[in-house]
Protein backbone atom coordinates (compact mmCIF):
# COMPACT_ATOMS: atom_id res chain seq x y z
CA UNK A 1 0.00 0.00 0.00
CA UNK A 2 1.29 3.43 -0.75
CA UNK A 3 1.17 6.31 1.65
CA UNK A 4 0.92 9.86 0.36
CA UNK A 5 4.11 11.79 1.02
CA UNK A 6 3.75 14.77 3.36
CA UNK A 7 6.12 17.73 3.20
CA UNK A 8 5.60 19.92 6.23
CA UNK A 9 7.01 23.36 7.04
CA UNK A 10 7.63 24.22 10.67
CA UNK A 11 8.22 27.96 10.67
CA UNK A 12 8.94 28.04 14.41
CA UNK A 13 9.08 31.66 15.68
CA UNK A 14 9.65 33.30 12.31
CA UNK A 15 7.84 35.80 10.05
CA UNK A 16 5.22 38.53 10.44
CA UNK A 17 1.94 38.90 8.55
CA UNK A 18 3.25 40.48 5.35
CA UNK A 19 6.05 37.88 5.10
CA UNK A 20 3.65 35.00 5.64
CA UNK A 21 1.32 36.26 2.91
CA UNK A 22 4.19 36.88 0.51
CA UNK A 23 5.47 33.35 1.16
CA UNK A 24 2.14 31.72 0.28
CA UNK A 25 1.66 33.94 -2.77
CA UNK A 26 5.12 32.98 -4.03
CA UNK A 27 4.78 29.28 -3.18
CA UNK A 28 1.39 28.43 -4.69
CA UNK A 29 2.22 28.92 -8.38
CA UNK A 30 5.40 26.85 -7.95
CA UNK A 31 3.46 23.84 -6.64
CA UNK A 32 0.25 24.23 -8.67
CA UNK A 33 0.82 20.95 -10.53
CA UNK A 34 1.51 18.88 -7.42
CA UNK A 35 -1.17 16.22 -6.99
CA UNK A 36 0.47 13.17 -5.48
CA UNK A 37 1.68 14.57 -2.17
CA UNK A 38 0.43 16.68 0.72
CA UNK A 39 1.92 20.04 1.59
CA UNK A 40 1.54 21.60 5.02
CA UNK A 41 2.61 24.91 6.58
CA UNK A 42 2.71 25.32 10.36
CA UNK A 43 3.05 29.06 11.08
CA UNK A 44 3.23 30.68 14.51
CA UNK A 45 -0.27 31.18 16.01
CA UNK A 46 -0.67 34.88 15.05
CA UNK A 47 -0.06 34.08 11.36
CA UNK A 48 -2.47 31.16 10.97
CA UNK A 49 -5.42 33.29 9.81
CA UNK A 50 -3.28 35.18 7.28
CA UNK A 51 -1.89 31.95 5.82
CA UNK A 52 -5.44 30.54 5.70
CA UNK A 53 -6.59 33.61 3.82
CA UNK A 54 -3.67 33.55 1.38
CA UNK A 55 -4.05 29.81 0.60
CA UNK A 56 -7.76 30.02 -0.36
CA UNK A 57 -8.60 27.80 -3.33
CA UNK A 58 -5.35 25.81 -3.01
CA UNK A 59 -4.62 22.39 -1.51
CA UNK A 60 -2.10 23.77 0.99
CA UNK A 61 -2.88 22.53 4.50
CA UNK A 62 -2.39 24.48 7.70
CA UNK A 63 -1.24 23.29 11.08
CA UNK A 64 -0.15 24.72 14.40
CA UNK A 65 3.12 24.18 16.25
CA UNK A 66 1.67 23.44 19.66
CA UNK A 67 -1.53 23.50 21.75
CA UNK A 68 -2.75 22.87 25.28
CA UNK A 69 -4.87 19.86 26.18
CA UNK A 70 -7.67 21.63 28.04
CA UNK A 71 -10.58 22.89 25.98
CA UNK A 72 -10.87 26.28 27.70
CA UNK A 73 -10.27 27.97 31.01
CA UNK A 74 -7.79 29.96 33.06
CA UNK A 75 -4.63 28.97 31.17
CA UNK A 76 -2.98 32.27 30.35
CA UNK A 77 -0.97 32.19 27.16
CA UNK A 78 -2.28 28.83 25.97
CA UNK A 79 -4.26 27.83 22.89
CA UNK A 80 -6.80 24.97 22.65
CA UNK A 81 -7.48 22.43 19.92
CA UNK A 82 -10.95 23.97 19.43
CA UNK A 83 -9.34 27.35 18.73
CA UNK A 84 -7.05 25.76 16.15
CA UNK A 85 -9.97 24.00 14.47
CA UNK A 86 -11.79 27.32 14.43
CA UNK A 87 -8.87 28.76 12.43
CA UNK A 88 -9.13 25.83 9.95
CA UNK A 89 -6.03 24.02 11.17
CA UNK A 90 -5.97 20.33 10.28
CA UNK A 91 -2.69 19.38 11.92
CA UNK A 92 -0.79 20.19 15.11
CA UNK A 93 2.87 19.48 15.87
CA UNK A 94 3.24 17.95 19.34
CA UNK A 95 6.28 16.98 21.34
CA UNK A 96 8.70 18.91 19.16
CA UNK A 97 12.15 18.75 20.72
CA UNK A 98 12.11 22.51 21.31
CA UNK A 99 8.91 22.05 23.35
CA UNK A 100 10.52 19.15 25.21
CA UNK A 101 13.95 20.64 25.85
CA UNK A 102 13.49 24.44 25.78
CA UNK A 103 10.08 24.52 27.48
CA UNK A 104 10.34 21.37 29.58
CA UNK A 105 7.33 19.47 28.26
CA UNK A 106 7.23 15.92 29.59
CA UNK A 107 5.88 12.72 28.07
CA UNK A 108 2.69 12.75 30.12
CA UNK A 109 1.79 16.26 28.98
CA UNK A 110 2.52 15.36 25.36
CA UNK A 111 0.27 12.31 25.73
CA UNK A 112 -2.59 14.47 27.04
CA UNK A 113 -2.12 16.90 24.16
CA UNK A 114 -2.09 14.05 21.62
CA UNK A 115 -5.37 12.67 22.94
CA UNK A 116 -6.97 16.14 23.10
CA UNK A 117 -5.90 16.89 19.51
CA UNK A 118 -7.40 13.63 18.26
CA UNK A 119 -10.63 14.18 20.19
CA UNK A 120 -10.96 17.62 18.60
CA UNK A 121 -10.41 16.23 15.10
CA UNK A 122 -6.87 17.51 14.60
CA UNK A 123 -4.16 15.26 13.19
CA UNK A 124 -1.19 15.20 15.57
CA UNK A 125 2.35 15.25 14.19
CA UNK A 126 4.09 13.61 17.12
CA UNK A 127 7.83 14.27 17.20
CA UNK A 128 10.23 11.83 18.82
CA UNK A 129 13.99 11.61 18.80
CA UNK A 130 17.12 11.22 20.86
CA UNK A 131 19.61 13.83 22.06
CA UNK A 132 23.29 13.71 21.08
CA UNK A 133 24.53 12.21 24.34
CA UNK A 134 21.83 9.55 24.09
CA UNK A 135 22.91 8.64 20.56
CA UNK A 136 26.53 8.50 21.68
CA UNK A 137 25.54 6.08 24.46
CA UNK A 138 23.67 3.90 21.92
CA UNK A 139 20.37 4.76 23.58
CA UNK A 140 18.50 5.85 20.45
CA UNK A 141 16.16 2.85 20.32
CA UNK A 142 15.42 2.96 24.02
CA UNK A 143 14.68 6.71 23.97
CA UNK A 144 12.45 6.61 20.89
CA UNK A 145 10.50 3.57 22.09
CA UNK A 146 10.03 5.09 25.53
CA UNK A 147 8.68 8.33 24.01
CA UNK A 148 6.30 6.41 21.74
CA UNK A 149 5.14 4.20 24.59
CA UNK A 150 4.33 7.15 26.84
CA UNK A 151 3.13 9.66 24.25
CA UNK A 152 0.73 7.20 22.56
CA UNK A 153 -0.72 5.74 25.74
CA UNK A 154 -4.50 5.19 25.39
CA UNK A 155 -4.56 6.54 21.85
CA UNK A 156 -7.13 4.52 19.86
CA UNK A 157 -5.89 2.29 17.03
CA UNK A 158 -7.88 4.08 14.30
CA UNK A 159 -6.41 7.44 15.35
CA UNK A 160 -2.85 6.12 15.15
CA UNK A 161 -3.48 5.00 11.57
CA UNK A 162 -4.26 8.53 10.45
CA UNK A 163 -1.71 10.40 12.53
CA UNK A 164 1.81 11.48 11.66
CA UNK A 165 4.98 10.63 13.55
CA UNK A 166 8.17 12.56 12.91
CA UNK A 167 11.56 11.09 13.77
CA UNK A 168 13.63 14.14 14.65
CA UNK A 169 17.00 13.43 16.24
CA UNK A 170 17.56 16.46 18.47
CA UNK A 171 21.22 16.82 17.42
CA UNK A 172 20.16 17.22 13.78
CA UNK A 173 17.62 20.00 14.32
CA UNK A 174 18.75 23.43 13.20
CA UNK A 175 22.37 22.32 13.32
CA UNK A 176 22.99 21.66 9.63
CA UNK A 177 24.05 18.18 10.74
CA UNK A 178 21.50 15.85 9.18
CA UNK A 179 21.12 12.19 10.10
CA UNK A 180 22.46 9.69 7.58
CA UNK A 181 19.78 8.06 5.46
CA UNK A 182 20.58 4.78 7.19
CA UNK A 183 20.11 6.23 10.67
CA UNK A 184 16.85 7.89 9.60
CA UNK A 185 15.60 4.73 7.95
CA UNK A 186 16.56 2.53 10.90
CA UNK A 187 14.76 4.78 13.37
CA UNK A 188 11.69 4.97 11.16
CA UNK A 189 11.63 1.17 10.77
CA UNK A 190 11.83 0.90 14.55
CA UNK A 191 8.89 3.31 14.92
CA UNK A 192 6.78 1.37 12.41
CA UNK A 193 7.58 -1.91 14.18
CA UNK A 194 6.49 -0.37 17.47
CA UNK A 195 3.21 0.77 15.90
CA UNK A 196 2.72 -2.72 14.48
CA UNK A 197 3.25 -4.44 17.79
CA UNK A 198 1.16 -1.97 19.79
CA UNK A 199 -1.62 -0.98 17.38
CA UNK A 200 -1.69 -3.72 14.71
CA UNK A 201 -0.81 -4.20 11.07
CA UNK A 202 -3.31 -1.74 9.58
CA UNK A 203 -2.12 1.15 11.73
CA UNK A 204 1.51 0.33 10.95
CA UNK A 205 0.75 0.28 7.25
CA UNK A 206 -1.17 3.54 7.29
CA UNK A 207 0.70 5.75 9.75
CA UNK A 208 2.91 8.27 7.97
CA UNK A 209 6.38 8.66 9.43
CA UNK A 210 8.50 11.67 8.52
CA UNK A 211 12.15 12.50 8.97
CA UNK A 212 13.10 15.92 10.33
CA UNK A 213 16.45 17.56 11.08
CA UNK A 214 18.40 19.78 8.65
CA UNK A 215 16.43 18.62 5.60
CA UNK A 216 17.40 20.77 2.62
CA UNK A 217 16.70 20.72 -1.12
CA UNK A 218 20.10 19.03 -1.60
CA UNK A 219 19.39 16.08 0.70
CA UNK A 220 15.59 15.72 0.44
CA UNK A 221 15.57 13.11 -2.31
CA UNK A 222 17.97 10.81 -0.54
CA UNK A 223 15.53 10.54 2.37
CA UNK A 224 12.48 10.17 0.14
CA UNK A 225 14.19 7.31 -1.69
CA UNK A 226 14.28 5.28 1.52
CA UNK A 227 11.59 2.69 1.99
CA UNK A 228 9.31 3.74 4.85
CA UNK A 229 10.19 7.45 4.96
CA UNK A 230 6.94 9.17 4.07
CA UNK A 231 8.00 12.80 4.04
CA UNK A 232 9.83 15.51 5.91
CA UNK A 233 9.26 18.02 8.68
CA UNK A 234 11.39 21.00 7.76
CA UNK A 235 12.42 24.04 9.78
CA UNK A 236 15.08 26.34 8.35
CA UNK A 237 14.76 25.31 4.70
CA UNK A 238 10.98 25.85 4.78
CA UNK A 239 11.18 29.59 5.40
CA UNK A 240 11.98 30.55 1.83
CA UNK A 241 9.29 29.73 -0.78
CA UNK A 242 11.92 28.85 -3.41
CA UNK A 243 13.62 26.38 -1.12
CA UNK A 244 10.34 24.92 0.24
CA UNK A 245 9.04 24.45 -3.32
CA UNK A 246 12.22 22.52 -4.19
CA UNK A 247 11.63 20.27 -1.18
CA UNK A 248 8.06 19.63 -2.28
CA UNK A 249 9.11 18.87 -5.86
CA UNK A 250 12.09 16.73 -4.74
P1 LIG B 1 15.46 22.15 10.83
O2 LIG B 1 14.24 21.91 11.86
O3 LIG B 1 14.95 21.68 9.48
O4 LIG B 1 15.73 23.61 10.87
O5 LIG B 1 16.59 21.31 11.31
C6 LIG B 1 13.44 20.77 11.79
C7 LIG B 1 12.39 20.81 12.87
O8 LIG B 1 12.65 21.35 13.94
O9 LIG B 1 11.26 20.32 12.68
Q: What is the mean pLDDT of residues 132-160?
A: 96
Q: How far apart are CA 92 and CA 66, in angstroms?
A: 6
**CB distance 212 to ligand 1 below 6 Å:** yes
How many other C-beta atoms can be found within 10 angstroms of the C-beta atom of residue 228?
15
pLDDT of residue 2: 85
> pTM for the whole thing?
0.97
Q: How far apart are CA 65 and CA 45, in angstroms?
A: 8
- Residue % of the chain over a pLDDT of 70: 100
Question: Which atom number of ligand 1 is nearest to the Cα of residue 214?
Answer: 5
Residue 231, C-beta contacts closer than 8 angstroms, at least 6 positions apart:
5, 6, 7, 8, 37, 38, 208, 210, 211, 224
Given a cut of 90, whether residue 133 has pLDDT beyond it is yes
Residue 182, C-beta contacts closer than 8 angstroms, at least 6 positions apart:
none
Q: How far is the CA of 100 from the centre of ligand 1 (A)?
A: 14
pLDDT in tens, 163-172: 999 999 999 9
Given a cut of 80, whether residue 155 has pLDDT beyond it is yes
**CB distance 236 to ligand 1 below 6 Å:** yes
- Map out the domains of the chain with their CATH numbers: 6-248 (3.20.20.70)
SS3 at position 109? helix
Q: Where are the beta strands (DSSP E) in the chain?
A: 6-10, 38-42, 61-64, 91-94, 123-128, 164-167, 208-212, 231-234
State which H helix or E strand residue 246 sits in.
Answer: helix 241-248
Q: Supply angle C-alpha 116, 117, 122, rounded to 5.
A: 150
Given a cut of 80, whether residue 1 has pLDDT beyond it is no
Question: Which atom number of ligand 1 is nearest to the Cα of residue 237?
Answer: 3
Amino acid sequence: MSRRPLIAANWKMHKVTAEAKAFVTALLPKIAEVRDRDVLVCPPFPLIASVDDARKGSKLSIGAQNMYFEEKGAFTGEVSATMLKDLHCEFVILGHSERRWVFGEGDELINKKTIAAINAGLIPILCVGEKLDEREKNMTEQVVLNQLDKNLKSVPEHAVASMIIAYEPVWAIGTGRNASTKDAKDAITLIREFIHSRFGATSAEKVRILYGGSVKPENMKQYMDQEGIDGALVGGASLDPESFAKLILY
